[in-house]
Protein backbone atom coordinates (compact mmCIF):
# COMPACT_ATOMS: atom_id res chain seq x y z
CA UNK A 1 0.00 0.00 0.00
CA UNK A 2 1.39 3.40 -1.04
CA UNK A 3 1.51 6.47 1.14
CA UNK A 4 -1.49 8.09 -0.58
CA UNK A 5 -3.59 5.03 0.16
CA UNK A 6 -2.36 5.01 3.76
CA UNK A 7 -3.41 8.64 4.18
CA UNK A 8 -6.91 8.05 2.85
CA UNK A 9 -9.79 8.73 5.25
CA UNK A 10 -12.13 6.41 3.36
CA UNK A 11 -14.70 4.91 5.69
CA UNK A 12 -14.03 7.39 8.49
CA UNK A 13 -16.64 9.67 10.06
CA UNK A 14 -15.96 13.02 11.65
CA UNK A 15 -17.15 16.53 12.42
CA UNK A 16 -15.72 20.04 12.43
CA UNK A 17 -17.00 22.83 14.67
CA UNK A 18 -17.05 26.39 13.36
CA UNK A 19 -17.17 24.82 9.90
CA UNK A 20 -19.67 27.02 8.09
CA UNK A 21 -16.85 29.21 6.80
CA UNK A 22 -13.15 29.98 7.16
CA UNK A 23 -10.63 27.47 8.47
CA UNK A 24 -13.30 25.00 9.54
CA UNK A 25 -14.92 24.94 6.11
CA UNK A 26 -11.53 24.40 4.52
CA UNK A 27 -10.55 21.47 6.73
CA UNK A 28 -14.01 19.90 6.45
CA UNK A 29 -13.67 19.94 2.67
CA UNK A 30 -10.19 18.43 2.94
CA UNK A 31 -11.48 15.60 5.14
CA UNK A 32 -14.21 14.87 2.60
CA UNK A 33 -11.76 15.01 -0.29
CA UNK A 34 -9.68 12.42 1.57
CA UNK A 35 -12.73 10.12 1.70
CA UNK A 36 -14.44 10.86 5.03
CA UNK A 37 -18.10 11.53 5.69
CA UNK A 38 -18.33 14.76 7.61
CA UNK A 39 -20.63 16.94 9.71
CA UNK A 40 -20.52 20.72 9.36
CA UNK A 41 -21.18 22.03 12.86
CA UNK A 42 -21.86 25.70 13.46
CA UNK A 43 -24.23 28.12 15.16
CA UNK A 44 -25.13 29.47 11.70
CA UNK A 45 -27.28 26.66 10.30
CA UNK A 46 -28.18 28.43 7.06
CA UNK A 47 -24.56 28.88 6.01
CA UNK A 48 -23.73 25.39 7.28
CA UNK A 49 -26.36 23.86 5.02
CA UNK A 50 -24.89 25.69 2.02
CA UNK A 51 -21.37 24.63 2.97
CA UNK A 52 -22.48 21.01 3.37
CA UNK A 53 -24.15 21.10 -0.04
CA UNK A 54 -21.04 22.55 -1.69
CA UNK A 55 -18.71 19.97 -0.15
CA UNK A 56 -21.04 17.04 -0.88
CA UNK A 57 -21.37 18.06 -4.52
CA UNK A 58 -17.62 18.55 -4.89
CA UNK A 59 -16.55 15.31 -3.20
CA UNK A 60 -19.43 12.85 -3.44
CA UNK A 61 -19.22 12.18 0.30
CA UNK A 62 -22.05 12.26 2.81
CA UNK A 63 -21.98 15.71 4.39
CA UNK A 64 -24.53 16.90 6.95
CA UNK A 65 -25.07 20.22 8.70
CA UNK A 66 -25.82 20.52 12.40
CA UNK A 67 -26.58 23.62 14.45
CA UNK A 68 -24.81 23.68 17.80
CA UNK A 69 -23.86 26.16 20.49
CA UNK A 70 -20.51 24.66 21.45
CA UNK A 71 -20.61 26.38 24.85
CA UNK A 72 -23.66 24.31 25.83
CA UNK A 73 -22.96 20.85 27.24
CA UNK A 74 -26.44 19.63 26.28
CA UNK A 75 -26.10 20.88 22.70
CA UNK A 76 -22.63 19.39 22.22
CA UNK A 77 -23.88 16.04 23.54
CA UNK A 78 -26.87 16.19 21.18
CA UNK A 79 -24.59 17.11 18.29
CA UNK A 80 -22.22 14.19 18.89
CA UNK A 81 -25.20 11.84 19.21
CA UNK A 82 -26.55 13.16 15.89
CA UNK A 83 -23.20 12.69 14.16
CA UNK A 84 -23.00 9.08 15.35
CA UNK A 85 -26.60 8.39 14.34
CA UNK A 86 -26.54 10.09 10.95
CA UNK A 87 -23.02 9.21 9.83
CA UNK A 88 -22.81 5.82 11.51
CA UNK A 89 -19.95 6.46 13.91
CA UNK A 90 -17.24 8.91 14.94
CA UNK A 91 -13.54 8.43 14.17
CA UNK A 92 -12.21 11.98 14.42
CA UNK A 93 -13.21 15.54 15.14
CA UNK A 94 -11.79 19.02 14.71
CA UNK A 95 -12.70 21.40 17.54
CA UNK A 96 -12.23 24.61 15.62
CA UNK A 97 -14.90 27.08 16.77
CA UNK A 98 -13.53 30.29 18.23
CA UNK A 99 -13.82 34.06 18.57
CA UNK A 100 -11.52 36.99 19.29
CA UNK A 101 -12.55 40.09 21.20
CA UNK A 102 -9.86 42.74 21.02
CA UNK A 103 -9.86 45.11 23.99
CA UNK A 104 -7.16 46.57 26.24
CA UNK A 105 -6.99 44.63 29.49
CA UNK A 106 -7.75 47.70 31.58
CA UNK A 107 -10.87 48.35 29.52
CA UNK A 108 -12.02 44.76 28.93
CA UNK A 109 -15.15 43.81 30.81
CA UNK A 110 -15.34 40.59 32.75
CA UNK A 111 -18.18 39.54 30.45
CA UNK A 112 -15.88 39.91 27.44
CA UNK A 113 -13.16 37.90 29.18
CA UNK A 114 -15.59 35.12 30.06
CA UNK A 115 -17.04 35.00 26.53
CA UNK A 116 -13.57 34.57 25.05
CA UNK A 117 -12.76 31.75 27.46
CA UNK A 118 -16.16 30.13 27.08
CA UNK A 119 -16.05 29.91 23.29
CA UNK A 120 -12.32 29.31 22.83
CA UNK A 121 -11.45 27.02 25.74
CA UNK A 122 -14.51 25.72 27.58
CA UNK A 123 -16.13 24.65 24.33
CA UNK A 124 -13.00 22.68 23.40
CA UNK A 125 -13.19 20.87 26.73
CA UNK A 126 -16.85 20.00 26.06
CA UNK A 127 -16.21 18.93 22.47
CA UNK A 128 -13.13 16.87 23.30
CA UNK A 129 -14.52 15.09 26.33
CA UNK A 130 -17.95 14.31 24.88
CA UNK A 131 -16.49 13.10 21.58
CA UNK A 132 -13.69 11.41 23.51
CA UNK A 133 -16.08 9.35 25.61
CA UNK A 134 -17.58 7.89 22.45
CA UNK A 135 -14.15 7.19 20.95
CA UNK A 136 -12.86 5.60 24.16
CA UNK A 137 -15.85 3.26 24.17
CA UNK A 138 -15.60 2.40 20.47
CA UNK A 139 -11.98 1.56 19.75
CA UNK A 140 -10.30 4.96 19.65
CA UNK A 141 -10.08 8.01 17.44
CA UNK A 142 -8.35 11.29 16.78
CA UNK A 143 -9.14 14.76 18.13
CA UNK A 144 -7.71 17.93 16.57
CA UNK A 145 -7.99 21.27 18.38
CA UNK A 146 -7.44 24.69 16.88
CA UNK A 147 -5.11 26.68 19.11
CA UNK A 148 -3.13 29.61 17.69
CA UNK A 149 0.33 31.07 17.39
CA UNK A 150 -1.16 33.50 19.94
CA UNK A 151 -0.62 30.74 22.49
CA UNK A 152 3.11 31.12 21.91
CA UNK A 153 3.54 34.88 21.44
CA UNK A 154 1.79 38.11 22.40
CA UNK A 155 0.32 39.59 19.25
CA UNK A 156 0.84 43.25 18.41
CA UNK A 157 -0.48 45.83 17.85
CA UNK A 158 -3.96 44.52 18.73
CA UNK A 159 -4.73 43.99 22.45
CA UNK A 160 -6.08 40.47 22.96
CA UNK A 161 -5.06 39.11 26.34
CA UNK A 162 -8.18 36.95 26.70
CA UNK A 163 -7.71 35.34 23.28
CA UNK A 164 -4.04 34.64 23.95
CA UNK A 165 -4.79 33.09 27.32
CA UNK A 166 -7.61 30.96 25.95
CA UNK A 167 -5.48 29.55 23.15
CA UNK A 168 -2.61 28.76 25.53
CA UNK A 169 -5.19 26.86 27.56
CA UNK A 170 -6.18 24.86 24.48
CA UNK A 171 -2.62 23.61 24.09
CA UNK A 172 -2.34 22.54 27.72
CA UNK A 173 -5.75 20.87 27.55
CA UNK A 174 -4.61 19.05 24.41
CA UNK A 175 -1.47 17.78 26.12
CA UNK A 176 -3.33 16.77 29.26
CA UNK A 177 -5.96 14.75 27.38
CA UNK A 178 -3.26 13.16 25.23
CA UNK A 179 -1.50 11.87 28.34
CA UNK A 180 -4.71 10.61 29.94
CA UNK A 181 -5.85 8.76 26.82
CA UNK A 182 -2.51 7.67 25.33
CA UNK A 183 -2.97 4.01 26.25
CA UNK A 184 -6.69 4.01 25.46
CA UNK A 185 -6.58 4.64 21.72
CA UNK A 186 -7.59 8.29 21.53
CA UNK A 187 -5.03 10.76 20.21
CA UNK A 188 -5.31 14.51 20.85
CA UNK A 189 -3.28 17.13 18.98
CA UNK A 190 -3.56 20.81 18.18
CA UNK A 191 -2.72 23.14 15.34
CA UNK A 192 -1.55 26.71 15.93
CA UNK A 193 -2.18 28.81 12.83
CA UNK A 194 -0.59 32.17 12.32
CA UNK A 195 -2.42 35.02 10.63
CA UNK A 196 -4.67 33.34 8.06
CA UNK A 197 -6.39 35.21 5.25
CA UNK A 198 -9.92 33.95 5.71
CA UNK A 199 -12.82 35.92 4.24
CA UNK A 200 -13.62 37.14 7.76
CA UNK A 201 -10.14 38.65 8.11
CA UNK A 202 -9.91 40.03 4.57
CA UNK A 203 -13.34 41.68 4.79
CA UNK A 204 -13.10 43.03 8.34
CA UNK A 205 -12.89 46.81 8.50
CA UNK A 206 -11.23 46.43 11.90
CA UNK A 207 -8.55 44.01 10.75
CA UNK A 208 -7.78 45.28 7.25
CA UNK A 209 -5.64 48.17 8.61
CA UNK A 210 -3.62 45.66 10.64
CA UNK A 211 -2.80 43.32 7.75
CA UNK A 212 -0.06 45.59 6.37
CA UNK A 213 1.55 45.73 9.83
CA UNK A 214 1.33 41.94 10.27
CA UNK A 215 2.85 41.35 6.84
CA UNK A 216 5.69 43.76 7.59
CA UNK A 217 6.58 41.63 10.64
CA UNK A 218 6.11 38.27 8.90
CA UNK A 219 9.24 36.50 7.59
CA UNK A 220 7.28 35.40 4.50
CA UNK A 221 5.68 38.83 4.14
CA UNK A 222 2.14 37.55 3.76
CA UNK A 223 -0.87 35.98 5.43
CA UNK A 224 -1.32 32.24 5.35
CA UNK A 225 -4.08 30.65 3.30
CA UNK A 226 -6.76 28.42 4.87
CA UNK A 227 -5.77 25.72 2.37
CA UNK A 228 -2.29 25.62 3.90
CA UNK A 229 -3.77 24.02 7.03
CA UNK A 230 -5.45 21.15 5.20
CA UNK A 231 -2.70 18.55 4.93
CA UNK A 232 -1.70 18.57 8.60
CA UNK A 233 -5.34 18.08 9.64
CA UNK A 234 -5.85 15.19 7.21
CA UNK A 235 -2.64 13.63 8.54
CA UNK A 236 -3.77 13.97 12.16
CA UNK A 237 -7.23 12.54 11.42
CA UNK A 238 -5.86 9.45 9.69
CA UNK A 239 -3.96 6.28 10.43
CA UNK A 240 -0.48 7.46 9.46
CA UNK A 241 -0.34 9.59 12.64
CA UNK A 242 -0.95 6.81 15.16
CA UNK A 243 2.24 7.68 17.11
CA UNK A 244 1.42 11.39 17.13
CA UNK A 245 -0.37 12.67 20.20
CA UNK A 246 0.04 15.61 22.55
CA UNK A 247 1.69 17.66 19.82
CA UNK A 248 1.04 21.25 18.76
CA UNK A 249 1.77 22.07 15.14
CA UNK A 250 2.62 25.73 14.47
CA UNK A 251 1.72 26.78 10.92
CA UNK A 252 2.69 30.44 10.84
CA UNK A 253 5.31 31.03 8.12
CA UNK A 254 8.01 31.27 10.83
CA UNK A 255 6.26 34.21 12.53
CA UNK A 256 6.97 32.84 16.02
CA UNK A 257 10.63 32.05 15.29
CA UNK A 258 11.86 35.41 16.52
Residues belonging to the active site: 148, 163, 167
CA 146 to chain centre: 4
Q: Are 27 and 256 in contact (CB under 8 A)?
A: no
**Full strand arrangement of the beta sheet holding 63-67:** 63-67, 37-42, 13-17, 92-95, 141-146, 186-193, 248-251
Q: How many angstroms separate the CA atoms of 223 and 252, rounded? A: 9
- 111 CB-near residues (< 8 Å, 6+ apart): none
**Residue 37 backbone phi and psi in degrees, to 5:** -85, 140
Q: How many angstroms separate the CA atoms of 129 and 143, rounded? A: 10
In terms of Cβ atoms closer than 10 Å to its own Cβ (0-12, 13-18, 19+), residue 249 is middle
Amino acid sequence: MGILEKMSLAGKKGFVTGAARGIGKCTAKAFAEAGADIAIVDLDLETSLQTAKEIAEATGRKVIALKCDVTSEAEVQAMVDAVVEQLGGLDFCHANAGICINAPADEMTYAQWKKNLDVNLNSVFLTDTIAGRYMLAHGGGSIINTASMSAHIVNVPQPQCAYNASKAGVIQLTRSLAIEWAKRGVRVNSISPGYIGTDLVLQSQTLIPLIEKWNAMAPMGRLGKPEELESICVYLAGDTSTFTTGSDFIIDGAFTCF
